[in-house]
């Protein structure tokens, strides 16, 4: 790997409607948008990955307030809390000419990070009176020592490219975290595993209260289909039999229920393949937990 290669995490923060999703989608290309398909998932931590010859940019969306009724809330909250801590550079998106209470709150979220904050003054194309721009930029500069102030339009490809180049400057040197073709987010993998585990628990939780873990072997987005292969790990052969059920009926039900939940989460059709494997000692063995992704920082 090129010693000059850069890779790092970038968070986009801003009040609703300033253009974060538009910007993210243009930065990453068509590949991300779980967010655009399902508006409520904008609240989840999502990661868009942009890999270029000299850098890999990993975008984390704004963590928000979650619906406590959602069974996955716990995991989402943990992901959200983790999301801001680990970034290398933050982007605050505001709308040209407007800075309100909720913009100030977004900025306040970033102040304690001690990381460079790039201010994107978006939608400059909508500004009728262009002479208002300069005083606005000056006023913004007084609110925070922004690393950069970038007036732009998230809809203009040249502007987005310029921002991308600027972001790369703020990333540390390092190997890419993901393969070139990888577009999915560890969190999505993790959440997929949790959704499956939830269905396992619902179905056989009485019999196997803490006896299973789920590893995602494959997570591939193919247009409107997401292909997921997962393995449910149990401790003993007897547990495997319980999970599979007579004629495989139980596992089939678990798979169907999990598939429906995954389709809701991802906004695509889902092909879900489930395997059950006996792996003695998984619950206490750090290596096994590592191999199925349970010690990752998004978990
Ligand atoms: N004219 C103009 N419109 C823009 C620009 N960027 C985004 N928009 C529009 O502004 C609206 C809001 O954009 P989003 O990207 O959904 O905003 P968001 O910040 O992600 O909003 P939430 O998901 O609610 O947080 C959409 O209608 C976009 O098309 C821009 O640079 N110029």
Q: Report in angstroms the alpha-carbon separations of 178 from 30, 51, 173, 212.
A: 18, 9, 15, 28
**Does pLDDT of 77 surpass 50?**
no
Query: Separation of 252 CA from ligand 1 center, angstroms?
Result: 42
Residue ranges and CATH numbers for the domains of the chain are 6-169 (3.40.50.300), 186-291 (3.30.300.20)
Q: Which residues lie with the beta carbon below 6 Å from any ligand 1 atom? A: 14, 16-22, 42, 122-123, 125-126, 153-155
Residues 119-132 pLDDT 10s: 999 999 999 988 99
Of 12-26, 48-62, 77-91, 257-271, least confident by mean pLDDT is: 77-91
Cα end-to-end distance, the chain, whole Å: 29
Instruction: Report the percentage of the chain scoring pLDDT > 90.
Output: 37
pLDDT of residue 12: 86
Name the token pair of 283: 């619950």
Query: Which ligand 1 atom lies nearest to the CA of residue 39?
Result: 23
Distance CA 149, CA 163 (A): 10
Residues 124-162 pLDDT 10s: 999 998 899 999 999 999 999 999 999 999 999 999 999
Question: Residues 265-274: what's their mean pLDDT?
Answer: 91
ipTM of the complex: 0.96
**Does pLDDT of 287 surpass 60?**
no
DSSP code at position 29: -
Query: Separation of 194 CA from ligand 1 center, angstroms?
Result: 31
Distance CA 66, CA 77 (A): 7
Query: Separation of 258 CA from ligand 1 center, angstroms?
Result: 33
Q: Would you call 163 helix, strand, or coil by DSSP?
A: helix
Of 60-69, 174-183, 191-200, 271-280, least confident by mean pLDDT is: 60-69
Name the token pair of 44: 């989840």
Pocket test for ligand 1, best of 22, 42, 95 (most atoms within 8 A of CB): 22
Query: Which ligand 1 atom lies nearest to the CA of residue 18?
Result: 19
Measure the CA angle with vertex 279, ends 273 and 282; round to 5°.
105
Beta bridge partner(s), residue 216: 230
Name the token pair of 252: 């089939």
Query: Separation of 92 CA from ligand 1 center, angstroms?
Result: 14
Cβ pair 288, 282 in contact under 8 A: yes
More confident residue, 63 or 237: 237
Bridge-based pairing of strands 148-151 and 47-51 is: unpaired
- State the chain's mean pLDDT as an integer: 79
DSSP code at position 274: E
- Residue 14: name the closest of 107, 153, 127, 125 by CA: 107
pLDDT of residue 35: 32
Residues 36-73 pLDDT 10s: 233 333 333 445 778 889 998 888 755 443 333 444 44
Q: Report in angstroms the alpha-carbon separations of 120 from 23, 81, 178, 179, 193.
A: 10, 23, 26, 29, 35
Distance CA 292, CA 147 (A): 39
Pocket test for ligand 1, best of 15, 17, 120 (most atoms within 8 A of CB): 17
Query: Separation of 17 CA from ligand 1 center, angstroms?
Result: 5
Of 39-43, 71-75, 80-84, 214-218, least confident by mean pLDDT is: 39-43
Residues 33-44 pLDDT 10s: 333 233 333 333
Pocket test for ligand 1, best of 19, 37, 96 (most atoms within 8 A of CB): 19
Q: Report in angstroms the alpha-carbon separations of 140 from 90, 96, 136.
A: 16, 10, 6
pLDDT of residue 97: 95
DSSP code at position 111: G
Residues 89-114 pLDDT 10s: 999 999 999 999 989 988 887 887 78
Closest C-alpha residue for ligand 1 atom 26: 19
> Which segments are annotated as binding site for GTP?
14-21, 61-65, 122-125
pLDDT of residue 191: 74
Query: pLDDT band for position 283 (50/70/90)?
Result: low
Cβ pair 211, 235 in contact under 8 A: yes
């Amino acid at each position: 790997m090129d010693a000059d290669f850069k890779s790092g995490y970038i968070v986009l923060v801003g009040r609703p409607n300033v253009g974060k999703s538009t910007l993210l989608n243009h930065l990453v290309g068509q590949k991300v948008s779980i967010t655009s398909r399902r508006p409520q998932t904008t609240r989840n931590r999502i990661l868009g990955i942009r890999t270029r010859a000299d850098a890999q940019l990993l975008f984390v969306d704004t963590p928000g307030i979650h619906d406590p009724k959602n069974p996955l809330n716990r995991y989402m909250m943990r992901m959200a809390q983790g999301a801001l801590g680990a970034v290398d550079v933050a982007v605050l998106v505001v709308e040209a000419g407007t800075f309100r209470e909720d913009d100030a709150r977004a900025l306040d979220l970033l102040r304690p990070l001690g990381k460079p904050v790039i201010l994107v003054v978006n939608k400059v194309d909508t500004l009728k009176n262009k002479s208002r721009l300069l005083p606005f930029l000056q006023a913004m500069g007084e609110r925070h020592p922004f690393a950069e102030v970038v007036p732009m339009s998230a809809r203009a490809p040249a502007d987005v490219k310029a921002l991308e180049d600027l972001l790369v400057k703020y990333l540390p040197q390092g190997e890419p975290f993901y393969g070139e073709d990888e577009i999915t987010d560890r969190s999505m993998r993790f959440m997929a595993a949790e959704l499956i585990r939830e269905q396992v628990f619902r179905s056989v939780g009485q019999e196997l209260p803490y006896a299973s873990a789920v590893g995602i072997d494959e997570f591939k987005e193919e247009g409107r289909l997401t292909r997921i292969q997962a393995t449910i790990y149990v401790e003993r052969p007897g547990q495997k039999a319980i999970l599979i059920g007579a004629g495989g009926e139980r596992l089939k039900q678990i798979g169907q229920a999990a598939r429906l939940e995954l389709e809701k989460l991802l906004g695509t059709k889902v092909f879900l393949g489930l395997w059950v494997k006996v792996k003695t000692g998984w619950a206490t063995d750090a290596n096994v937990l590592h191999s199925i992704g349970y010690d990752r920082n998004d978990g």
